[in-house]
Structure 1
């Protein structure tokens, strides 16, 4: 699987796109192979083939067979370390495969509504200038992960706020503490792009896993819709699967992969381009 996603015409899938997707799905036609891929994809680190075989409950030669087929299709990547083969998921497939399913099922333009799993103790309100230092501190946490932004140095709170739509910035509070924030940044000062903005969503590390991001993106996109913004976009590192899932849950679709779009710490990085149309 390559990072380049086939385009979907409004009249239907092209023959090339259909052939590409069919090959991906054919690779996943075996239940054991699907379990092998899941074992690799759900791991936070590379796994030797023996460990994968143990987790799935199959013989090592069987695991090797399925891993080879998955590698040939591009779902996993292999790295030799001495006599051992280390296996990791191909991050491109974490975005490419969901995109393929959406394309085939014709759901790319379906916008989900109100989430039902926002915890009651998460309250979202408009951001004020008094919140900016806490917001900047949470942003610094994101910078440190090296999977949230190309920014490497902490901006001042005022510099951070200067980029945003003033009417489209929000904070989430849990028991009176700012647990995360979200904001929209205009993509251009040209009048023709006045309704296009880019999302930023950051959650304090101590509040991750408490649906704070879900509450923030729900408020962000609904407020944007009410204000007449017609396109929201997000550029996300492929490794940041949590952010990709969050945006997909609010109707964003993957429109492509921007390969080697910029360097972070001297290393070329890709970004997934996601988009939500009103």
Structure 2
């Protein structure tokens, strides 16, 4: 085992089962397809949001954030904030930034409670090291990475030409709306905010940040961390809603299983079987099959070329 952290997707099903496998109870993630405070409020209680965005590779943290203000005075014991010390861990770090600040509202389970207690008096840099070196958190994180025989994420180094994406968290803590970004030197305060006000306060902050990007930049993703919606469905006796939530969970489990599986060997066996069957039909049949496939590929390439010329 290399001990590295692999890339995971910004996906509600991935994040839901990731926190569940860490021992967290009654929490799920919902994708927000629009910046709509009312829709976010309907998911209440909302513990925080995880925002994925394209990170300029040449940009470095400065002494003053572009939005909000650094809160360098908040005590480490009052707010969990960890510096990001390793590549590819920012998705899990962002969701932990919400979870570990909500132990009064969320059942974290014994392992995360122990981790928070162990790091309670640590400064942010040491918390980041402790997180990066947690075998439990790393193993659960990596269990949701896509299986690929071609890419070793632990060896990949981003360049200026790469599209690099970064996860950060927004959550209300002790009456303040905080932005928790492990690449920044401190938590960023966006002003007073109660739990009830969170949907109305966080949406303008997100909108202002997105507006700094070119109008054609649409590669953003926003996930809300909420209480398990099946609980709400049971509370109000909505059986249809409960059925839909259970169906969604089943789909998530199936998708996560597919993510873990490497299909290259399976595809290779299919191709070998097709080739063997063609060879059994005789050399002329095989040659005809290859010729027909080549002709179709050439025709498709010529068609694409004509479309590009007319465009």
What range is the shorter-chain TM-score in?
A: under 0.3
Q: Which structure shows the higher helix fraction?
A: 2
TM-score by length of 2: 0.24
TM-score by length of 1: 0.26
Q: Larger RCO: Structure 1 or Structure 2 (Cα < 8 Å, ≥ 6 residues apart)?
A: 2
